[in-house]
Chain A
Amino acid sequence: MKTVNNLTLVDDDEIFVFLTKKTIEATSLVNLIQVFGNGLDALNFLKKNIDNPDTLPEIIFLDLSMPIMDGWKFLEEYILISPKLGKKITIYICSSSISPDDIKKAKAISVVSDFIIKPITKEKLIETIKNL
C-alpha cells in the first residue's frame, strides 16, 4: 500500500483536528501529520518551503471557515504560487458545510480535487490516499 509522507490539516477546530489525527494515525498510511489553524499560517509555510519539495505535503485537507484567512482566500492565494511549488499537492476541501452553494463553488476551483463533507472516516481516508 502506498504511503503518504506529509498530510497537512488546515483547520481551526481543535476537536476535529484531534479526532481526524487519530483516524489518520489508525490507517498507518501517513508518516507526518501537520496542522495549521488558519489559511494564512498554511500559506506562509508553503511559501517558505516553495523550493523544498521534501517538506511540502502531498495532501492538504482544507477547512473553509477559519479566522484570519478562510479556505476560499487560501485557494485564491495558492493558485498564484502553485506553479512555482516544487511538488504536486492534492487539495481536498474538508468542511462541515452541507450547503450546495459551497460544494458547487469548491468543485469549480481547478486545484481542488474533491469536497469532503466532515467527518472524514477511515474508509474515505484510505480511498483518498489510494487515489493519489
Chain B
Amino acid sequence: MKTNQMILWDQIVEFFSKLFGTESWPPRWYCGRWTDFHGWLYIVSDLMVWAAYMIIPFFLIVLITKRKGIPFPLVFYLFGAFILLCGLTHLLDASMFWWPAYRFAGLIKLLTGIVSWFTVYALFKLWPQIVGLKTGKEFNAEFEQRKIAEQKLNDYTRILEFKNTQLVDFCNIVSHNLRAPMVNIGMLVDYLEQSNDKAERKELLTKIKPVVNHLNEVFNELVESVQVRQDFEIKSDKIILTDCLNENLQGFQSQIKLYEAEIEINFNDAPIIYFPKKYIDSIFTNLISNSLKYKSPDRKPVIKIKTEKTSSGIVLSISDNGLGIDMNYAKDKLFKIRKTFHKHPDAKGFGLFMTKTQMEAMGGKIWAESAPDKGCTFFVEFINQNI
C-alpha cells in the first residue's frame, strides 16, 4: 500500500486530520464476499455486545453512588470506562458495513487499550487488599460472634450490677442494723461506768441482755443470708406442690382454725416444680404466716395459692384479703431486712428479706402487689423448669 512509503509524522498528521474520513476504504459489505447471513450475524452480534456493554457500566455507577461504603470505587469507575469503550469498539465494528471510519475506530481501540491497562494496573496495585477483603459470609460470621460476645458482656454487667446492689444492701445492713445495737451497748456501758447508784446500775444491767440478744439475732440473720448467697452447691429437688404445701400448712393448723381461715389451692397448671426443698418450705412458711399475721380484723382470712406456667418458668402466687400494704410507700422497702409495715409484735422484717435472698440465689424473682385494706399478693417466679 502507498501509506507504507510515507514518513511516520505525515502518517500521524493524515490520521488525525482525516479522523472521520472514509474515502480510503470501501464499506465492509463490499470488502470481500459477505453473504447477508454472515454480514448480519456480524452486525447483530456486535450490536448485542455494544448494548450490553452500555448497560453494565450504568449498573456499576448506580451501585457505587447509591450504596455508601463500597470498597475500591476507583476500580469500579475503571471497569465502567473500559466496558463502555469496549462496547463502542463493537458499535464501530458494526457500523463499518456502511461507514468505514477505520481511523476513528482505531483511535477508540487505542483508548480502550489504555483504559484497560489502567484497570489492570489498578487491580495489580489493589490486589492484596481486594484478596484480604472479608466476604459477606465472613462479615456475618464475625457479626454473629460479636453479638454473642456482646450478649455475654450484657449478662455479666447485669450480674455485676445485681451483685453490687446486694453489696450496697449488705453495707447498709452492717452500717445500720448491726451498728444500732452496738451503739446501745456502748451507751449502756458508759452509763454503768459513771453511775454510783445501785438501783440505777441494776436497771442498766437488765437492759444489756436484750440488746445483746438483739445483736445476736441480727448477726445470725446476716450470716444466714450470706450462707444462702454462698451456697452454690444447693440442688433442686422435685417438689410435688400439693404435698409440700400440706406439710407446711400443718404448722399453721391451730391458727387456721382460730381465724376460720379459708385456703384455696390450685396447682393444676403446674403441679410440680424443681427447687431446693429447704427454700420452698421457707417460702411457703413465710408467705402463709404473713397472710395470717396481717389479716384484716374485719374479715375472715381467705388465702389463695396457685401456680401458673409462663414463658420463662412457673409463677407461684399467694394472695390474701388482709391488711395490705401501701405499695407507694413500701415498694423499695418491702424485701429489705428489718423493714416492717404493721404494728404487730411479731413483725421483724426478716421473712421477706430471706425469701427474696433465697429466690435470687436460685435466679428466680419475687414481687408483690397490694392495696391497703384489700390484701396482698406475692408472686414467686421459678426459672429453668423445663427439665
CB distance from B210 to the nearest CB of A (A): 7
B211 lies within 8 A of A73 (CB) = no
B176 lies within 8 A of A68 (CB) = no
Q: Fill in one digit per residue for A49-71: 1 if any B CB lies within 8 Å of its CB, else 0.
A: 00000000000000001011110
User: Would you call B180 an interface residue if the criterion is a C-beta within 8 Å of the partner chain's C-beta atoms?
Assistant: yes
Q: Spot the interface stretch: B184-192, B245-253, B364-372.
A: B184-192
Q: Which residues of B contact A65 (CB under 8 A)?
A: 176-177, 180, 338-339
Q: Spot the interface stretch: A12-20, A84-92, A106-114.
A: A12-20
Q: Fill in one digit per residue for B158-196: 1 if any A CB lies within 8 Å of its CB, else 0.
A: 000000000000011001110110011011100100000
B191 lies within 8 A of A95 (CB) = no
Interface residues on A, range: 20 to 34
User: Would you call B333 an interface residue if the criterion is a C-beta within 8 Å of the partner chain's C-beta atoms?
Assistant: yes
B341 lies within 8 A of A13 (CB) = no
A13 lies within 8 A of B342 (CB) = no
Interface residues on B, range: 20 to 34
CB distance from B314 to the nearest CB of A (A): 33
Q: Spot the interface stretch: A2-10, A28-36, A96-104, A123-131.
A: A96-104
A18 lies within 8 A of B207 (CB) = yes
B343 lies within 8 A of A67 (CB) = yes
User: Would you call B51 an interface residue if the criterion is a C-beta within 8 Å of the partner chain's C-beta atoms?
Assistant: no
Q: Which residues of A contact B339 (CB under 8 A)?
A: 65, 67, 70
A68 lies within 8 A of B338 (CB) = no
**Bound Cα distance from A99 to B188, whole angstroms:** 23
A98: contacting residue among B179, B207, B342, B347, CB under 8 A: B179
Q: Which residues of B contact A67 (CB under 8 A)?
A: 339-343, 347, 349
A97 lies within 8 A of B172 (CB) = yes
From A13, A69, A96, A101, name the one whose CB has the most chain B CB atoms within 10 angstroms. A96
A96 lies within 8 A of B183 (CB) = yes
User: Would you call B30 an interface residue if the criterion is a C-beta within 8 Å of the partner chain's C-beta atoms?
Assistant: no
Q: Which residues of B contact A73 (CB under 8 A)?
A: 329
Q: Which residues of A contact B186 (CB under 8 A)?
A: 119
Footprint of B on A, CB under 8 Å?
A: 13, 15-16, 18-19, 22, 65, 67-70, 73, 95-99, 101-102, 118-119
Nearest 9 A/B pairs, CB to CB: A96-B180, A67-B340, A97-B176, A19-B187, A15-B184, A118-B183, A96-B179, A98-B175, A99-B175
A sample of 12 more A-B contacts (CB under 8 A), given A15-B210, A97-B172, is: A15-B184, A67-B340, A67-B341, A67-B342, A68-B343, A73-B329, A98-B176, A99-B172, A118-B183, A119-B183, A119-B186, A119-B187
Interchain Cβ contacts under 8 Å between A and B, 30 examples: A15-B184, A16-B187, A19-B187, A22-B191, A65-B176, A65-B177, A65-B180, A67-B341, A67-B347, A68-B340, A68-B341, A68-B342, A68-B343, A70-B339, A73-B329, A96-B176, A97-B172, A97-B175, A97-B176, A97-B179, A98-B175, A98-B179, A99-B176, A101-B172, A102-B176, A118-B179, A118-B183, A119-B183, A119-B186, A119-B187
